[in-house]
Structure 1
């Protein structure tokens, strides 16, 4: 049994991509490892504390046999550089203080690197207690920050500083796990040895994402009345480029057979709801984030699942975690993205892909998918589920990540 510390700013009960650390922790626990999670108080994606939580200097809870230690942070997810930086840095400081007390006895730390500042506690524990760490890169920094537009016109100094910090973290990590081949290329281009960087794709929570038949009662409960539903389920944020989906809905507003459902929350939801209201789009509905236990049934109500990212070079190396979840659930996909994620959808033969943020491309794809026989749509979903099982399953990816952590402990003991 290996004693593992998982350092992550995001953790259950947070939704969307923030659920990935919980999936990892439960897998490691299932493999017989002892897992201690160091995280913040839940506030993602809306930047507001979840019900039942209040900010304190320290809190502990147990989830699924995992000890969860919560450190203080400034809860915020606003599209403001200063406020977002305060959120990230406050967790780095709070988690370092708490981590010195609760992670001193672990054998290895796994850093869920989104944001990169989550590595600060691991760096301190490495320096003081000689605890090695494995870095799991979910988003490339500083590229994610720079291309988000937060620092427009004033980011050159920040970019240089973040890049130096990232390089420092890369060099001190025992190994680096990335979620796509493109990420490996970017990191090795910084002078990091290729053998230190391994591709370990995310896997989905297989207790919650699996193929099921549509539930008519749930469909009525959510008010999805139209025969064909294009669904987006996940974080409603800046980088998902959902404005293009709303514009596509406006183009198709006279099609009474096609509806659009957005399930989730995030910093852009209020803006999109206002836009839908202003344009009187009766074919678009918004729904609150759903519990994981219901997600398979919710996704089954979308005839097509929409997966998108902004049209930025960086995102050609990004594979959003909702892609694996959608494949695992066996749902047809309309992807508005390029790069590694496009290649996955194409290889799986699980849907169609159009240019990111292309309204006309999205409209044309929706119309072509609507015209397909139901059996062909179902076949796309089955192919996607089969591809997930062979390429992204928990048994495959989880085993790879576990070996990296075990090897880090062995290498330290040999020194």
Structure 2
């Protein structure tokens, strides 16, 4: 098939923004022709990546993909109007690029976060009759209203408008795929027909996230050798609630054999560093964002990996991409999370779950895991890897996607 893959985020952006590239390249490897419609890279820091400048249009041929970049207002801060400007400028500009630069395609696949990414697909449908599939990564308007960006009076007005927009995209989409079971339940409540819904979880880039044998060398390379390492690697955002790790570290400041390591960056980075400095915590280590191709070694440097999301109704129906990546790497987990993701961690036997936001429970989980033998920890990581292979492996996910993209648009059950 000739496919338009529409995503505001794309390579070389990091973290969850790397997912669209993983999926698009996998489709190319299956023999499809893929045209990516995206913006200019600036996630997660809201700063344009080196080598890029915003222009009216840019075309790249990379890894068998044809990448079409549309201009957008570069921003990723915590102010609602500025973030809206980022989303809406991409939606408008990408629609123009879609109609003027994309060749005719059989179908469009929309990496739906933010929900406004569907606007170019709607434009293609109106002008050319191109069918599109929504792959819901974040459920809107829930994501916006739970973010805290908006005052309560403004949130109600915005929520009503977004509900109307999202309901319209669900009706006009040929199919709606969700990345967590809880999302399907919510969309059924909102009137999306069951025959139009499929569960298509994300998978990890299996070339980058894999078990690493020489963990001692990995710890040395990251400068965290000599201590039991509780690691978070990813975006430092408000939803990740990383204050919990800092407070847990404060509780365990007497345990010189346990270190809390935060790898990455984001809008909360400065505030987290200030909190660590104010508490004079020597057991918290910050490591800058690492190259994507080194992520297997980075995760291997952690004795246990933390998955953390603030407990909101929305997060209970979310499987963050970091979950699959960590399980693919075969690392044990502490899940400071509830809902779908917590069930995955517990049922897999790959780690422990604590109440989101509870620093006392996180500290206790860190001590409990630090008391395990290396063999016991390895067994926990191996269980996580087995669950990944059985549930989220790339080949099975691609077969689901291809079944949906085919002209018949088959429903794929969980």
What is the TM-score normalised by the length of structure 2? Answer: 0.97
How is 1:179-198 mapped onto 2 (pairs within 5 angstroms)?
179-198=179-198
Return the offset for 1:225: 3.4
Do structure 1's residue 13 and structure 2's residue 12 form an aligned pair?
yes
> 2:369 — aligned with what?
369
Q: What is the alpha-carbon distance in structure 1 between the residues aligned to residue 408 and residue 22 of structure 2? A: 21
Cα separation, partners in 2 of 1:258 and 1:103, compared to 1, 3 Å: same
Q: What is the alpha-carbon distance in structure 2 between the residues aligned to residue 360 and residue 105 of structure 1? A: 56
> 2:70 — aligned with what?
71
Once the two structures are overlaid, the 10-residue window that deviates more, 294-303 or 146-155, is: 146-155
Cα RMSD over matched residues? 1.3
Once the two structures are overlaid, the 10-residue window that deviates more, 265-274 or 380-389, is: 265-274
| Residue deviations 1:107-136 (CA, integer Å, cap 9, x gap) | 100000000000000001101100000000
| Residue deviations 1:335-366 (CA, integer Å, cap 9, x gap) | 00010001111111000001111111101111
Q: What is the alpha-carbon distance in structure 2 between the residues aligned to residue 271 and residue 214 of structure 1? A: 34
> 1:119 — aligned with what?
118
Q: What is the alpha-carbon distance in structure 2 between the residues aligned to residue 171 and residue 409 of structure 1? A: 15
Q: What is the alpha-carbon distance in structure 2 between the residues aligned to residue 372 and residue 34 of structure 1? A: 49
Do structure 1's residue 247 and structure 2's residue 247 form an aligned pair?
yes
What are structure 1's unaligned runs of at least 5 residues? none
Q: What is the alpha-carbon distance in structure 2 between the residues aligned to residue 158 and residue 359 of structure 1? A: 34
Q: What is the alpha-carbon distance in structure 1 between the residues aligned to residue 311 and residue 294 of structure 2? A: 31
> 2:327 — aligned with what?
327
What are structure 2's unaligned runs of at least 5 residues? none
Q: What is the alpha-carbon distance in structure 2 between the residues aligned to residue 31 and residue 217 of structure 1? A: 36
> 2:33 — aligned with what?
34
> 2:96 — aligned with what?
97
Alignment coverage as a number of residue pairs = 410
Once the two structures are overlaid, the 10-residue window that deviates more, 93-102 or 138-147, is: 93-102
Q: What is the alpha-carbon distance in structure 2 between the residues aligned to residue 410 and residue 143 of structure 1? A: 27
Return the offset for 1:221: 3.3
Q: What is the alpha-carbon distance in structure 2 between the residues aligned to residue 12 and residue 403 of structure 1? A: 26
Any conservation in 2 of the 1:228–1:303 contact (CA below 8 Å)?
yes
Any conservation in 2 of the 1:134–1:408 contact (CA below 8 Å)?
no
> 2:310 — aligned with what?
310
Q: What is the alpha-carbon distance in structure 2 between the residues aligned to residue 278 and residue 54 of structure 1? A: 38
Return the offset for 1:226: 3.5
Return the offset for 1:260: 1.1
> 1:401 — aligned with what?
401
Once the two structures are overlaid, the 10-residue window that deviates more, 284-293 or 361-370, is: 284-293
Q: Secondary structure at the match of 1:100?
A: helix
| Residue deviations 1:19-67 (CA, integer Å, cap 9, x gap) | 0000100110011000000000000000000011111111111221101
Cα separation, partners in 2 of 1:43 and 1:362, compared to 1, 3 Å: same
Once the two structures are overlaid, the 10-residue window that deviates more, 78-87 or 269-278, is: 269-278
How is 1:231-380 mapped onto 2 (pairs within 5 angstroms)?
231-380=231-380
Return the offset for 1:100: 0.7
